[in-house]
Chain A
Amino acid sequence: MSDFLYFFTFQDSSIAFVVIGIILLGVGSAYVGTYSFLDKKALLGDAISHAVLPGICLGFILAGTKNPVYIVSGAFFSGALATFLTSWLRKNTRLSEDAIIASILSIFFGFGIVLLTVIQKSGNPEMAGLNQFIFGNAIAILEEDLWVYGGLAVFIILSLSIFQKEFSLLVFNAEYGKAIGYPMGLIRLIFNVLMILSVVIGIQAIGVVLMAALLITPGAAARFWTDKLGNLVILAGIFSAVSGVMGTYISFILPQMPTGPWVVVFLSFLALISFLFAPKRGVLSRFISRRSYLKKTHQDHLLKALYRALEAGKENLSIEEIYEAYPFQKKESDRSIDNLISNGLIIKNQSIISLTPKGKSESKRIVRLHRLWELYLNEYMNIAPDHVHDSAEKLEHILTPELEELLENRLNYPKLDPHQETIPRDHDEL
């Protein structure tokens, strides 16, 4: 607990620095990543983040120390080389994009690991901690390094804001952009540079292996919650910043813990919550709306059964007759009956159930939709009368009043369905 307070009250200015840094870098990479996620280029981010490793090692070999300028430049150049090779190979060979990306990723990363091993064997005392570039360690970042990473993050965020219109055009309809005379090739190049930079600034805090998660997961998780680009970017930024700070906190209380994996754990948790609980697109909300739809269909079927009894001259049905009509669904039937009673559609007198005037009109509507649809299938789509029932059984619950109007018009207010049953109208007497 005292650790928690110590960390989050920022008594230690170096912690405050790290937290600000990780927030900036999280927001920056989530911002770039959201666009590349929308552009369906998520894998490219993964390739770039693995591909920066040889650059980091070469930077270290050249500088002889962990000089952030050498390391950032090295990482940038090997990331850029990987990106360039990916698009060059796509244009000039018949290889598919996934094969190209998978090869680039493993070749660069493999080469990086070789270099890393060479450095470790060299006995250079400065090389301690170079391993951290693989899984990241936010707490170990020095203040002077933070200035470089933070500055680059601010640069990324500003550039994306300035080019928002151009990048949206690039992702949504690059061909149209070209047609109105925009230099789409150059805009793509700038975007790729920003993407590589956002990988480069994350390497020390998150590590090359997991940086792709910080690019893509925030946007993918946020997409469950919103349909507006502005909100999407903001939410992705928040997800990313929160996970970044939490991951850093874990590295702080457990010094041997790398930051990257923990950031990914928190991000995945947020993504899981989004996947399960987001309104409309979430699993839970889809489950609930499906449940309520099934409930409604059951009630509709009960009303229809009562209506058909009326057609046959029976004023009501006993509850046993209803149970019999829907075997194994006694509980659902009871629940439907209760619901229909509380909506004023039926009344229950002891165990005898009959329709109220409101229930009559509603049951007529359902039967009418059912029979209109059957007639439409039969007349317009030439489907035999004994093949139309199943489709009507499903569509009677969802056809809208506008479609009903259209069907009536098209079929010229018909009297009978293909089975010679009356299509009931509201004013008809029974």
Chain B
Amino acid sequence: MINHVESPIIEIHDLTVSYDQSPVLWNVDLSLPSGKLIGILGPNGAGKSTLIKAIMGLVSPSGGYVKLFDKSLEEVRSRISYVPQRESVDWNFPASVLDVVLMGTYGKLGLFKRPGKKEKELAMECLEKVGMHGFAKRQISELSGGQQQRVFIARSLAQNADLYLMDEPFAGVDMATETAIFELLKQMTAEGKTVVVVHHDIYSAVNYFDWFIMLNLHLVASGPKETVITEELLRKTYGGKLNLLTKVSELIRQKEFNPLKN
């Protein structure tokens, strides 16, 4: 059940990604509409994070390509914002909340230039949007999980992008924060932005997203909620790993080279 769209904001063509040779994503081929809140669903180890890392050019595919706004990543990088997983950084790093949010302005600033008054004002606005403006001076080591997540989202907002790719923004946050973040994402899509979110909780996902990508090492489904949230597709996504696919992965891993590389 893969719905393709006209003039997609993201077009992924036969994308295969391998880590240490063993493929973690097989032949993903999909296209996504703009202005939607899109959820990537799948069990642990299904390749959800890998998919957005591949879109963002952070892992190089062993086959296939990604087009964004019908262009290559390098041409449109400033229009895309990426929110990494909260656990991927060391929150004991000596920096204030404002310092982290200011990183969102680095892309436009370029190398060498330091953020000035204009950037600080923008960062404060973004902190206000996530309800963290009272924390600007706080050290990031003092934040709770939900607050850290909101700081990451504020940083991403400071990029003023058109397309947002978020890796598990709801992981480890309390219910109130989850609702607040979701409201913010909905508001962003209402303003015409596109938000792609990796999400692990199928129950809340059904209420949150307009469009779903369902992964389990391969693409199970991609389409609007009405057409893809079916019992059969959910079973295909969550019903254990495909035994045969895992066996082939293992076979490839034992080879001295990666036969999937172009």
Q: A178-B58, A179-B82 are in contact. Are A227 and B103 (CB under 8 A)?
A: no
Q: In the complex, what residues of B have CB within 8 A of residue A178's CB?
A: 57-58
Instruction: Determine if B82 and A168 form an interchain contact, defined as CB atoms under 8 angstroms apart.
Output: no
Instruction: State whether the Cβ of B242 lies closer than 8 Å to any Cβ in chain A.
Output: no
Which of B106-114, B124-132, B189-197, B218-226 forms part of the interface with chain A? B106-114
Interface centre among A173, A226, A232 (most CB of B within 10 A): A173
A228 touches B88 (CB 8 A): no
In chain A, what residue has the closest Cβ to B159?
A180
Question: B71 interface residue, CB < 8 Å from A?
Answer: no
Determine the chain A residues whose CB is within 8 A of the CB of B96 once the complex forms: 228
Chain A hits for B56, CB < 8 A: 179
Chain A residue nearest to B85 (CB atoms) is: A175
Query: In the complex, how many angstroms separate the beta carbon of B37 from the nearest chain A beta carbon?
Result: 20
Min distance, Cβ A172 to any Cβ of chain B, angstroms: 5
**Interface size classification for chain A:** 20 to 34
* B90 contacts chain A at the CB level, 8 A cutoff: yes
A165 B58 Cβ-Cβ under 8 A: no
Which of B88, B99, B106, B107 has the most A CB atoms < 10 Å from its CB? Answer: B106
Q: How far is the CB of A170 from chain B (nearest CB, A)?
A: 11
Chain B residues lying within 8 Å of A238, measured Cβ to Cβ, are: none
Which residue of chain A lies nearest to B82 when distances are taken between CB atoms in the complex? A179
**Are B106 and A172 in contact, with the CB atoms below 8 A?**
no
Could you tell me if A176 and B84 are in contact, using CB atoms closer than 8 angstroms?
A: yes
- Interface flag for B249 (CB, 8 Å): no
- A 193-233 contacts with B by CB, 8 A: 223, 226-229, 232
B93 on the A face (CB < 8 A)? yes
Decide: A172 and B82 in contact? CB cutoff 8 A.
Answer: no
Q: Is residue A407 within 8 Å, beta carbon to beta carbon, of the partner chain?
A: no
Chain A residues within 8 Å of B57, by CB: 178-179
* A175/B95 contact (C-beta < 8 A), A166-B111, A181-B78, A182-B106 known: no
Among A180, A182, A232, the most chain B Cβ lie within 10 Å of the Cβ of A180
Kindly state whether residue B141 has any CB partner on chain A within 8 Å: yes
Contact A180 B93 (CB under 8 A): no
Q: In the complex, are the beta carbons of B106 and A175 less than 8 A apart?
A: no
Interface CB pairs A-B, < 8 A, 28: A40-B90, A163-B112, A165-B112, A165-B115, A168-B95, A169-B106, A172-B90, A172-B95, A173-B84, A173-B88, A173-B89, A175-B88, A176-B82, A176-B84, A176-B103, A177-B106, A179-B57, A179-B58, A179-B80, A180-B77, A180-B82, A181-B77, A181-B107, A182-B107, A226-B94, A227-B139, A229-B94, A229-B95
Apart from A162-B112, A176-B103, A179-B82, 13 more pairs, CB < 8 Å: A168-B99, A171-B93, A172-B93, A172-B95, A173-B88, A175-B58, A179-B58, A181-B74, A182-B107, A227-B141, A228-B94, A228-B139, A229-B95
